[in-house]
Amino acid sequence: MMVPTILALGGGGFTMETDTTALDDFVLTLAGRREPRILFLPTASGDPREQIGRFHATFGDRACEPSVLSLFRLAYVTRSLRDIVLSQDIVYVGGGSMRNLLAIWRVHRLDAILREAWERGIVLAGLSAGAMCWFQGGVTTSSGCPEPTPGLGLLPGSLSVHADSEPARRPVLHRAIRDGVLPPGYVADDGAGLLFRGTGLERAVSSRPAARAYRVEAIGDAIVETPILPTYLGCAARPERPVPFDVREFRQIRYGGAHRG
Amino acid sequence: MADRLRQIVAFGGGGFSMEPGNPLLDDYVVGLTGRERPRVCFVPTASGDADHYVVRFYRAFGAGRCEPSHVSLFRRDRGAGAVEGDLAAHLLGQDVIYVGGGSVISMLGAWRAHGLPEVLAEAWGGGTVLCGLSAGSLCWFTEAVTAFHGSPQRVEGLGLLPWSNCVHYDGEPSRRREYLRFVGDGMGPGYAADDGAALRFVGTELAEVVCSRPGKGAHRVEVRDGEVVEERIEGRYLGAAPAVLAAA
């Protein structure tokens, strides 16, 4: 049985980064299977077709079985949501409105199903709202201005995302921790991911050399941030589509060794 | 505003998103406001605020005919043309709040997270006409039948109207079958509407049934003497009478 695993991204991955697939490739390595089943949940953005298209464009070409669960388009879904989720190796949650995400999950009872999935060792991954949702709380802009909001609480502590690209969130996290509204926790830049095994942080990874994460604690009245240096996963540029075997063979015959396929 | 009626128009199906080129139901709702250029706000939550749906709303409710706007609960931080800031104040200032179709369960979940049920109840009390199709109809009632995930199931609505509701009554036979069964099993009495028909409530009572296609209508469904009874209510056709068309 796999250890409960969560990868929380401060931002990045296929919905945000067009120049690297490092984090998406890393997600696939976490399942411990050659071709993991990966389910995308775009709930937090209202299941937009554009995000779903990008998911298929990214994972359709990789060694995995990708599928999408849209809670706004269940009309032709015959299996129960629990069956669908528990038959996965990885659940990847997109960004958007954290408040809507949790409210909609609750009415479909997906909060309980995802907890069960996590306990069974199905890897939970996500960015932004899809990262903060696993913690006791986060800083959301669901209503416009950044404000603290509770999460599912699978992981102890809090998380604030987009630390480098949306600097207004961080002071809100600090104040919330100081006021006892949120527990101490983490902030993460775009491109930085925190990997949790069980409820403990195992390590941080990144798709950008400069991306950082920080542990945030309250010591007396002061808020102290300690940098966490992520392992840089390298800039795996989006590969060209793999050339099918028959085409490669054709080129070999047609052009000899001169053409690289 | 105090003397304005509390009105809800619940479409069984129809309006700009289901009947392209047939504006009769939408025109009817706009007409109920008694205003030359009413403020009409679209709430597409049940579709996940789908862009194409919002675009079609603005096409149908152009600025020449009304003051259109829309509310996005998924993109409150990014504007994207939607109302920003004080949602409640915006909604309370509308003549019509038009709720789109989609998943009623997801919609009600998101609404509750943003405090919309209280705001919509207040808007209704203040004379804003509430309307919508499908999920945008079911939501106003105490209970309703949704068939958005697999077989039809019961769902609790906002309860502004103390009835049950079923939509697409002539279009999806399984809904009718299940609605009759639910009412037999203790769901409260209520109204079912065909595609192309709309129920207009004044206060909490049904005032009339109108339709955008001849022959469409509604049913009152209730238990009488232990039997589930369906009583047909013909819709008043909102278009020109066919005979007149033939003569012209």
pTM of the model: 0.86
Q: What pLDDT is attached to residue B196? A: 97
Q: Look at B51 and A107 and tell me if their CB atoms are within 8 Å.
A: no
pLDDT interval class at B26 (50, 70, 90): very high
Give A149's contacts in chain B (Cβ within 8 Å): none
B52 a catalytic residue: no
What SS3 state is found at A227?
strand
Q: Is the pLDDT of residue B10 over 90?
A: yes
pLDDT interval class at B1 (50, 70, 90): very low
Q: What is the mean pLDDT of residues B98-102?
A: 97
How far is B36 from A28, CA to CA, in rounded Å? Answer: 58
Q: Is the pLDDT of residue A13 over 70?
A: yes
Nearest CA in chain B to A95: B74
How far is A113 from A116, CA to CA, in rounded Å? Answer: 5
Q: What pLDDT is attached to residue B66? A: 95
- Please indicate whether residue B151 or residue B227 has the higher confidence score (pLDDT): B227
Written as one string, the DSSP assignment of A160-181 is E--TTT-TTHHHHHHHHHHTTS
Q: By the 8 A CB rule, do B173 and B206 touch?
A: no
Q: What pLDDT is attached to residue A75? A: 77
Sheet with strand A155-160: strands edge to edge: A147-150, A135-140, A155-160, A185-188, A213-219, A222-228
Provide, rounded to the nearest whole percent, the portion of chain A with pLDDT above 70. Answer: 90
Give B46's contacts in chain A (Cβ within 8 Å): 72
Chain B nearest-CA distance from A118, in A, is: 23
Nearest CA in chain A to B49: A46
Provide, rounded to the nearest whole percent, the portion of chain A with pLDDT above 90. Answer: 82
Q: By the 8 A CB rule, do B38 and B160 touch?
A: no
Q: What pLDDT is attached to residue B248? A: 43
Task: Check CB contact of B67 with chain A, cutoff 8 Å.
Answer: no
Q: What pLDDT is attached to residue B154? A: 95
Q: What pLDDT is attached to residue B151? A: 80
> Ramachandran region of residue B150, left (φ > 0), alpha (ψ -120 to 50) or beta?
left
Q: What pLDDT is attached to residue A150? A: 97
- Please indicate whether residue A236 or residue B133 has the higher confidence score (pLDDT): B133
Give A143's contacts in chain B (Cβ within 8 Å): 76-77, 114
* Pick among A52, A68, A74 to test the B interface (most B CBs inside 10 A): A74
What ipTM does this complex have?
0.83
**pLDDT tens digits, one per residue of A99-139:** 999 999 999 999 999 999 999 999 999 999 999 999 999 99
Q: What pLDDT is attached to residue B76? A: 74
Q: Is the pLDDT of residue A57 over 80?
A: yes
How far is A133 from A159, CA to CA, in rounded Å? Answer: 9
Q: Look at A71 and B103 and tell me if their CB atoms are within 8 Å.
A: yes
Give B75's contacts in chain A (Cβ within 8 Å): 97
Nearest CA in chain A to B44: A46
Chain B nearest-CA distance from A95, in A, is: 10
